[in-house]
Amino acid sequence: MKDIYDVTIIGGGPAGLFASFYSGLRDLKTKIIEYQPYLGGKVHVYPEKMIWDVGGQPPISGGDFIKQMVQQAQTFKSTVALNSKVTDIRKEDDGLFVISTNKQTHYSKTVIVAIGGGILNPQKLELDGIDKFEVTNLHYIVPSLQQFKNKRVLISGGGNAAVDWANELEAIAEKVTLVYRSEQLKGHEAEVNKVLSSSVEVHLNTTIEKFVSEHDNDYINKALLYNKKSQKEQWHEIDEVIINHGYVIDRSLFESSSINIALDEYQLIQGNTDSSTNIPGIYAAGDILKHESKLHLIAGCFQDACNAVNKAKQFIDPSSHERAMVSSHNEKFKDKNKELLKTQKILD
């Protein structure tokens, strides 16, 4: 017999995790399908970076934020399928959505697509023979800041990630050098101003041309930098290299899906402010969703998630309320609220 879910969420990042929580709040049988072997999405790229832009949440590291999101998402014990790549979504004559993955087939009354920008793989530096350094001191992801303590660190990139890492590492590393191929850094203004006024050595119009391992031990010891404006080359002695050139995005789901979901020119879902798409019963949340009022912050993806769940609830049961009852008044939290208030009084 088919195990049929009310809501199946494709993607276990911030949008998918909050959708899981909110779906439970609306008493919907829920499943999350995630490509990676873990939940948390792109936040895993910066586990030690501080997150500042979630309302009511004091600054928190990415790693701790993941733990909290997963704990909240599992409040109503949704089913989770990890290591599962969705290869097709189709709709049967009885109205059920059939979601095929590399492992099994899932059945659902509604679907929420929350895959962020898509399956992400770091954009690698294209230099001959550098793959061997990936197991030593060439990094595309930074799981821990302490490994760079008192080291000479070279960072390549000019977006938010590169600028943020430069600022984070300035107080930890012996020296931080930031190189970017363009004329201006493209991170958030405050962070760019911070790095430009810091001890970080910034080289604009500059690219990495070559790495050298002096002792033939698969460790990078020197990097050759080229400034295309001055047309000069310069060698830098380094201990660690971080590459932040963005990501190669896999959105093959839309190419292989039997359902023709409307996309924009950037292969994002062209949806509506209420998270609905051109396919009744399919909704979207987070970075994959494009609409006129889109807010590209974690806080914005939470609103998308709530809208998507509310629309899914009404799709399944048209007589249901448009929105869930606020959690402070919800019967499901009655006992939990009393316990939390009691704990808070003790702490106070």
Q: Name the CA dihedral angle for 45, 113, 60, 244, rounded to a multiple of 10 degrees.
A: 20
Binding residues for FAD: 34, 42, 46, 86, 120, 287, 328
Pairing between strand 289-290 and 269-270?
Answer: parallel
Rounded CA-CA distance 281/279 in Å is 6
What residue type is assigned to position 50 of the chain? Answer: M
Distances (CA, A) of 279 to 41, 91, 108, 263, 317: 25, 10, 14, 12, 17
Alpha helices for 28-159 (secondary structure H):
62-73
Beta carbons within 10 angstroms of residue 229's beta carbon: 9
Inter-residue contact 79 to 69 (CB < 8 Å)? no
Inter-residue contact 55 to 45 (CB < 8 Å)? no
Q: Give the pair of three-digit tokens for residue 258.
A: 């039997």
Instruction: Count how many residues are written for the chain.
Output: 348
In whole angstroms, how large is the CA radius of gyration of the chain? 23
Beta carbons within 10 angstroms of residue 255's beta carbon: 8
Rounded CA-CA distance 112/22 in Å is 12
State the SS3 of 185-253. CCCCHHHHHHHHCCCCEEECCEEEEEEECCCCCCCCCEEEEEECCCCEEEEEECCEEEECCCEEEECHH
CA angle 11, 16, 18 (to 5 degrees): 165
Binding residues: 34, 42, 46, 86, 120, 287, 328
- Kindly report the backbone phi and psi dihedral angles of residue 154, in degrees, each rounded to the nearest multiple of 5, phi listed first: -105, 125
CA atoms in the 13 A half-sphere facing the CB of 119: 16
